Amino acid sequence: MPELGQIAKAIADYDRAIQLNPRAAAAYLNRGIARRRAGDLESAQTDLAQAVRLGPKNANAHNELGLVLQSREAYEQAIASFSQAIRHEPQWAAAYNNRGNAWSDKGHRQRAMRDFNQAIRIDPRYAVAYYNRGLNWRRQGALDRALHDFDQALRLDPELAAAYNNRGLIHEEKGEPDRAIADFDRAIGLDAQFARAYSNRGNAWRTKRNLDRAIADFDKAIALDPKHAIAHFTRGQIHEKLGERAKAVADYRRAVALDPGYPEPAEALKRLEGERVPAQQKPQRRDPSHMRRRS
């Protein structure tokens, strides 16, 4: 990919800068950011930790380190890093937003809400903070408040595909499949590679009993994300309803292989084949809304 090639070139340039000056905090910071974007989180963490050691008052270094730690599910450390960023730059809305995401990942919804609120107070036009607060409201079952925040996020940033996707989920939960489909259409129009939006639209078509369109959307979701266990399971349910037993079994088997702790496809497979499907590990989190924006 051209972007990865550009990142690799940038990393090589930062390598040379560090060779010339091993105490160049900015070079470690920028190389850490580049490595994070390339997906090399371990090396990114090493670089960003060094950037913090060399420049302990650099709020951006603390923030970037927090993003890496959060991606590695080291939430306590991530929160500490975002807190340091806020300490050194108290009016930085993005740092509050990012700490709110980390609190949310830890399940501390109220602490997350306080941080999203503060981000919005600092910058009332910060679309991403409204979006993330909407996610937080939705996870608490406050659908109307979530809907209001997604609406506001989209007024501020009409190209925020994830907000259309999550607003569509709320419309579906509220029994409004046509409005949900319209939002999933917008999400897909903005991001044609958005597998979750195809899957979610497939669910809405299924609700409307348009099974051909539902299968087409699940086919597309799976083509974009072959490891999407929910899409395999739900497509299997539709195949079973249509009497296509072999296709249903294949989808259920794939869903079980992808997520052995996902009980529904295991139970469906057992019912169709009379197989003994052993219990596996604790189910993984499967949240179709899990696409957030950070800064």
| Domain assignment of residue 259, given as a range | 159-295
Residue 186 lies in a domain: yes
Residue 38 lies in a domain: no
Query: Which 8-state DSSP code applies to residue 174?
Result: T
Residue 277 lies in a domain: yes
What pLDDT does 148 receive? Answer: 98
Distance CA 132, CA 204 (A): 23
What pLDDT does 287 receive? Answer: 44
Distance of CA 224 to the CA centre of its chain: 15
Distance CA 146, CA 132 (A): 9
What pLDDT does 277 receive? Answer: 47
Cα–Cα distance list, 251 to 220, 242, 275 (Å): 14, 14, 15
Residue 214 lies in a domain: yes
Q: What is the CATH number of the domain that holds 202?
A: 1.25.40.10
Residue 148 lies in a domain: no
In this structure, the chain runs to a length of: 295
What pLDDT does 5 receive? Answer: 86
Cα–Cα distance list, 228 to 62, 183, 232, 233 (Å): 33, 21, 7, 9
What pLDDT does 192 receive? Answer: 98
pLDDT in tens, the chain (295 residues): 447 789 999 999 999 999 999 999 999 999 999 999 999 999 999 999 999 999 999 999 999 999 999 999 999 999 999 999 999 999 999 999 999 999 999 999 999 999 999 999 999 999 999 999 999 999 999 999 999 999 999 999 999 999 999 999 999 999 999 999 999 999 999 999 999 999 999 999 999 999 999 999 999 999 999 999 999 999 999 999 999 999 999 999 999 999 999 999 999 999 998 744 455 544 444 444 444 555 5
Residue 285 lies in a domain: yes
Distance CA 110, CA 142 (A): 13
What pLDDT does 3 receive? Answer: 79
Residue 153 lies in a domain: no
Residue 98 lies in a domain: no
* Structural domain count, the chain: 1
Distance CA 36, CA 42 (A): 9
For the entire predicted model, the pTM comes to: 0.87
